[in-house]
Structure 1
């Protein structure tokens, strides 16, 4: 670990032109990870772990397609393989596309699943493992 400690992110914004479709995807995909909509307003949904408003993911409507978030790779920590599996199923059932089904990735020492959100961003759920023998 560095002298500065772990990287801490306060919030991240994802900007979308089709808010309803994106909100359905993100709400369903993140629910198995315990990440829920904590704040909603017109054209805005902010997701966090229940009871903790940071770090958060803010989903925000934009009208200009050039302002839409694309090319993002965002990985969410899970606690169990079951959560990763449920994330993958929920994402596919709500407009996501499969990138990689849940499996162990030796090179990352993690159990991961990857999906594309409705505009093609790479969204991942993972649980770190100790040399492939289970969650840390």
Structure 2
């Protein structure tokens, strides 16, 4: 088994999505992760993963036979062009539009696009803009 380095202080260690159609999900995630420059960590017949996102079929040993519910996952994008490319790639790979690329009101410079993956999970790519990069902290209200 490959050794892993632990990173203390992270909010989330990993996320698992259990999906109905692993092949459709893999096609979708391969397309959007390629645009976001997140490499495939690995996979097998019943699962695959990118960094700390694990996607498996319901019959995988990790899933215990149950699909997960709807989730919202947001991935950071390098720039606005990457958000736009994420949206195009996801649509071409079977995703459904859930919010075209554009400015959002969450905070100045928040540029995002939203897609539903094949299982209805709300998958977002966001670029926070240059204004927020130099600030030591940003308060975001929802």
On whether the aligned pair clears a TM of 0.5, the verdict is: yes
In structure 1, the gaps of 5 or more residues are: 1-5, 49-55
Q: Which runs of 4+ in 1 moved over 3 A?
A: none
Structure 1 residue 8: Cα displacement: 2.9
What is the TM-score normalised by the length of structure 2? 0.76
> Aligned residue for 1:18?
21
CA distance in 1, matches of 2:29, 2:90: 8
Structure 1 residue 130: Cα displacement: 5.0
Structure 1 residue 37: Cα displacement: 1.2
CA distance in 2, matches of 1:129, 1:106: 13
What is the TM-score normalised by the length of structure 1? 0.79
Structure that is richer in strand per residue = 1
> Aligned residue for 1:72?
71
Alignment of 1:35-54 (within 5 A): 35-48=38-51
> Aligned residue for 2:105?
106
Structure 1 residue 124: Cα displacement: 0.4
Q: Which has the larger radius of gyration?
A: 2
CA distance in 2, matches of 1:79, 1:125: 10
- Could you report, residue by residue, the CA deviation over 1:65-113 in whole angstroms, capped at 9, with x for unpaired residues? x822232011111111111111100100011000111001133331000
Matched-pair contact (CA < 8 Å) for 2:79–2:129? no
> Aligned residue for 1:118?
118
Name the count of aligned residue pairs.
Answer: 121
Provide the aligned C-alpha RMSD in A: 2.2
